[in-house]
Amino acid sequence: MINNLSELAFFGGEPKFKEKLFVGRPNIGDRQKLLERINDMLDRRWLSNNGAFVQDFERRVADYLGVKHCIAVCNGTIALELVIRALELKGEVIVPSFTFIATVHALQWQEITPVFCDIDPETHTLNPWRVESLITPRTSGIIGVHVWGQPCDVETLTQIADKCGLKLMFDASHAFGCSHRGMMLGNFGSAEVFSFHATKFINSFEGGAIVTNNDELNQKLRLMKNFGFAGYDNVIYLGTNGKMSEVSAAMGLTSLESIEEFIDVNRRNYKCYQEGLAGIPGVSLFSIDEAEKHNYQYIVLEIDEAQTQVSRDLLVKILHAENVIARRYFYPGCHRMEPYQSYFPHAGLLLAETEKLTERVLTLPTGTAISEEDISKICQIIRFAVVSQFNSQEMHLLKTSYQ
Ligand code: T4K
Which DSSP string corresponds to 343-401?
A: H-TTGGGG-HHHHHHHHHEEEE--STT--HHHHHHHHHHHHHHHHS---HHHHHHHHHS
Separation between Cα atoms, residue 237 and residue 397, nearest integer Å = 59
Separation between Cα atoms, residue 265 and residue 26, nearest integer Å = 13
pLDDT at position 242 = 98
**CA 106–ligand 1 middle distance (angstroms):** 16
pLDDT at position 6 = 83
pLDDT at position 402 = 58
Single pTM value for the model: 0.96
Output DSSP code: residue 235.
Answer: B
Backbone torsions φ then ψ of 92, nearest 5 degrees: -120, 145
pLDDT at position 391 = 72
**CA 327–ligand 1 middle distance (angstroms):** 11
Separation between Cα atoms, residue 359 and residue 362, nearest integer Å = 9
Q: Which atom of ligand 1 is nearest to the CA of 106?
A: 9
Contact by Cβ (8 Å): 20, 229: no
pLDDT tens readout for residues 306-341:
999 899 999 999 999 999 999 999 999 999 999 999
Output DSSP code: residue 229.
Answer: B
- Ligand 1, atom 11: closest residue by C-alpha: 76
Separation between Cα atoms, residue 268 and residue 390, nearest integer Å = 32
pLDDT at position 4 = 80
Beta bridge partners of 117: 96
Within 210-325, where are the H helices?
215-224, 246-257, 259-277, 305-308, 312-321
Q: Which atom of ligand 1 is nearest to the CA of 325?
A: 38
**CA 266–ligand 1 middle distance (angstroms):** 18
- Ligand 1, atom 15: closest residue by C-alpha: 76
Separation between Cα atoms, residue 192 and residue 149, nearest integer Å = 13
Backbone torsions φ then ψ of 183, nearest 5 degrees: -105, 135
Peptide bond before residue 53 is cis, with ω within 30 degrees of 0 = no
pLDDT at position 3 = 79
Buried b (16+ CB within 10 A) or exposed e, 330-339: bbebbbbbee
**CA 100–ligand 1 middle distance (angstroms):** 9
Output DSSP code: residue 108.
Answer: H
Contact by Cβ (8 Å): 65, 293: no
CA 74 and chain centroid, separation:
16
Q: Which residues of the chain, if any, have pLDDT below 70? A: 402-403
CA 264, 266, 270, 273 torsion-angle sign: positive
Separation between Cα atoms, residue 186 and residue 177, nearest integer Å = 9
Residue 358: exposed, middle, or buried by beta-carbon count in 10 A (0-12, 13-18, 19+)? buried
Separation between Cα atoms, residue 47 and residue 51, nearest integer Å = 7
Q: Which atom of ligand 1 is nearest to the CA of 329?
A: 24
Q: Which of 97, 100, 146, 203 to mutate to test the pocket of ligand 1 (most atoms within 8 A of CB)?
A: 100
Within 282-351, where are the H helices?
305-308, 312-321, 340-343
**CA 237–ligand 1 middle distance (angstroms):** 31
Pairing of strands 179-180, 167-171: unpaired
Separation between Cα atoms, residue 257 and residue 268, nearest integer Å = 19
Site residues for ligand 1, CB cut-off 6 Å: 22-26, 75-77, 99-100, 102-103, 145, 171, 173-174, 195, 197-199, 208, 325, 329
pLDDT at position 370 = 95
- Ligand 1, atom 4: closest residue by C-alpha: 100
Helix (H) or strand (E) holding 163: helix 154-164
pLDDT at position 16 = 94
Output DSSP code: residue 283.
Answer: E
DSSP code per residue over 31-62: HHHHHHHHHHHHHHT--SSS-HHHHHHHHHHH
pLDDT at position 264 = 97
Contact by Cβ (8 Å): 237, 250: no
**CA 206–ligand 1 middle distance (angstroms):** 10
**CA 157–ligand 1 middle distance (angstroms):** 27
